[in-house]
Structure 1
Amino acid sequence: MTSSQAEAAVREAAMRWLDGRPKQEVDYAWVRQFEYHGVNIPLMDLQRGIRKPASMTAALAIRTTFTPPNQLPPYNDTIGDDGLQRYKYRGDDPQHPENVALRRAYEQRLPLIWFVGVAPGSYEPIYPVWIVGDDPSRLEFALALDEGQRFVSPGAAMDSDSRRYVERLTKQRLHQRVFRSKVLLAYDGRCAICKIRHVELLDAAHIIADGKPHGDAVVPNGLCLCKIHHAAFDNSILGIRPDRTLHVRQDILEEIDGWMLKGGIQGVHNTELAVVPSARAARPSKERLEERYAEFLAAG
């Protein structure tokens, strides 16, 4: 077995181990427990953003620290014209050992794990991630977050439809996943309207839609909603006033149907959101609620 094959085997084992994590987010204490053939190989380095175990020749993982709820994360503005995500070098020296370790992962086509901070000391693991381009002039690597993106040539000309498709994959694999984790953590894993706790039934809803002005993937532009209330919110069946009280559309209030409509939708009219984040900076933005509520009234 070549050294590249051996390192690929460690990565495969690490990713399968992460598949079995007890919850979506992980911390350093948990990821440092990974073992391969009886040898402990911590998957994260708290002192460095790039993790290369001493026994390996190429980087195993990268890390991005937590960004406060009302601030844009550092990766948010680093999608290239090709739709691929960028990851900045360590410092400004292309030959820094950590940059060399990432370059080796690129040259050997080895997958990486990306730990993205979603709360202080808590990370969402994104994997597998591949380096598909190296640009010393801009001090950055191009990343593929999806198997299909591995066939995109960084910086190559492409039509607008292809570019939008690649960018959509980037946002689905990174931005939206991290946004969901941050919003669910801020709301303690409960629907803001009905307080249901089952994570498989919860979504991170945008107040202002992604792609619009003020539609950033930040927690104050998010609401933790169950799938029923998310769909009702997105389809202007119910709106949320700037004071966080709920407004159910008049024709829905007059409709006669089963217990779900009566209790789950009609029954919340003129009530307040049942759950809001304890941290003031994570609470829904009043300005965004006002903008979205105006859209709701116009649609009704």
Structure 2
Amino acid sequence: MGLSLSADLALRERIMERLAHLRDQSGGTITRAQLTDFELDGERRRLVDASRGIWNPRDLNTTLTIVSSPDGPYDDRQVDQGYFIYAYRAGSTDGDNRKLRAAVEFGLPMILLVKLQAGLFVPIFPVFAVADDRRAHHFLIALDESLRFIEHPQNLSEPLKQYAEHVTRQRLHQPVFRASVIRAYETRCTVCHLQHGELLDAAHILPDSREGGLPRTSNGLSLCKIHHAAYDQNLMGIRPDHVVEINRDLLEERDGPMLRYGLQQMHGSTITLPRRKVEHPDTNALAWRYEQFKAS
């Protein structure tokens, strides 16, 4: 016998609260080991299936976790309307899909795990199954609660479509971008080497509003909150040869230890780069951004 719907929802909320803490500590990722041996209220609980992409705990009324892998066998992708498609398990219309179908009916929140690499995921939650397309053999997944209540998600008006795509970019692309960048820099600020994931951001080099400002690792820098703010405000620049420069006026200020040690002493230092060359910051992007710093 499964839990009542209210108890089911309460358990999911506690799971997600704990999962958010683990995710934030690491800078946006969660490991398979953490998902397999998840601790909640002093008890161990599995959050992912050992081999399948859908996890349906016996005591819950609907699916808890779905996994999307870019190299997996299923056609999981973001759709034009801004909803995420999650394919049926191959060769099956029922089976594991039965509890995911129940998730459409009951509206209980789920966890989407986007695979970054073997054993490492970006958890996105809460997400909601909102439609079951039996003809196309897939479900539509809303990546934000606001998208749950839009009628006819397969046939959106143009304004709603634009809204859904905007929300989905924020809820899917940005967390994956942040996690990818912070993982590449081994969960540390590239300028000051701070290693607390919850205090790190993935800063765009080229803004996402500019052509080429794509959410990919080579267009990002792992920066702590203060260095991210300084970079965005052009109070700190990074040259194409990876040397840090601090705004001249800021260098001459006399304020306190945060200014002195947090910013002024970074002037002339060299940033720490990812181990993999393919993940190094794009030189042309750094050059463009450095010109913006000098012009300011």
TM-score (norm 1): 0.78
Tell me, in whole angstroms, the C-alpha distance in 2 between the residues paired with 1:169 and 1:258: 40
- Residue 204 of structure 1 is aligned with which of 202, 205, 229? 202
Give CA deviations for 1:10-69 in whole Å, capped at 9, x if unaligned. Answer: 4642441342356214333333345999997632123221223466674331012378xx
- Residue 52 of structure 2 is aligned with which of 48, 52, 75? 48
Give CA deviations for 1:58-113 in whole Å, capped at 9, x if unaligned. Answer: 4331012378xxxxxx97x72433x333334434x572634444223213333222
1:119 and 1:182 in contact (8 A); partners too? no
Tell me, in whole angstroms, the C-alpha distance in 1 between the residues paired with 2:211 and 2:55: 36
Matches within 5 A, 1:241-280: 241-253=239-251, 255-259=252-256, 260-273=258-271, 275-280=272-277
Tell me, in whole angstroms, the C-alpha distance in 1 between the residues paired with 2:235 and 2:221: 16
- In the alignment of these two chains, the number of paired residues is 285
- 1:290 paired with 2:287, answer yes
Q: Which runs of 5+ in 1 are unaligned?
A: 68-73
2:33 and 2:119 in contact (8 A); partners too? no
Tell me, in whole angstroms, the C-alpha distance in 1 between the residues paired with 2:228 and 2:44: 43
Corresponding residue for residue 70 of structure 1: none
Change (3 A) 1:54 1:16: closer
1:206 and 1:221 in contact (8 A); partners too? yes
Tell me, in whole angstroms, the C-alpha distance in 2 between the residues paired with 1:201 and 1:233: 15
Matches within 5 A, 1:69-218: 78-81=78-81, 83-91=82-90, 95=93, 97-136=95-134, 138-153=136-151, 154-158=153-157, 160=159, 162-218=160-216
Instruction: Tell me by how many angstroms 1:171 deviates.
Output: 2.9
Tell me, in whole angstroms, the C-alpha distance in 2 between the residues paired with 1:158 and 1:15: 32
Tell me, in whole angstroms, the C-alpha distance in 1 between the residues paired with 2:84 and 2:232: 28
Tell me, in whole angstroms, the C-alpha distance in 1 between the residues paired with 2:221 and 2:150: 34
Q: Does the residue aligned with 1:166 lie in a helix, a strand or coil?
A: helix
Corresponding residue for residue 26 of structure 2: none
Corresponding residue for residue 71 of structure 1: none
Provide the identity percentage.
36
Q: Does the residue aligned with 1:205 lie in a helix, a strand or coil?
A: strand
Provide the alpha-carbon RMSD of the alignment. 3.4
Letter in 2 for 1:78: Q
Q: Does the residue aligned with 1:261 lie in a helix, a strand or coil?
A: helix
Letter in 2 for 1:291: W
TM-score (norm 2): 0.79
Change (3 A) 1:39 1:207: closer
Tell me, in whole angstroms, the C-alpha distance in 2 between the residues paired with 1:287 and 1:115: 33
Q: Which runs of 5+ in 2 are unaligned?
A: 24-28
Change (3 A) 1:98 1:281: farther
Corresponding residue for residue 69 of structure 2: 65
- 1:23 paired with 2:22, answer yes
Instruction: Tell me by how many angstroms 1:205 deviates.
Output: 0.8
Change (3 A) 1:37 1:185: closer
Tell me, in whole angstroms, the C-alpha distance in 2 between the residues paired with 1:257 and 1:166: 47
Instruction: Tell me by how many angstroms 1:262 deviates.
Output: 3.8
Corresponding residue for residue 229 of structure 1: 227
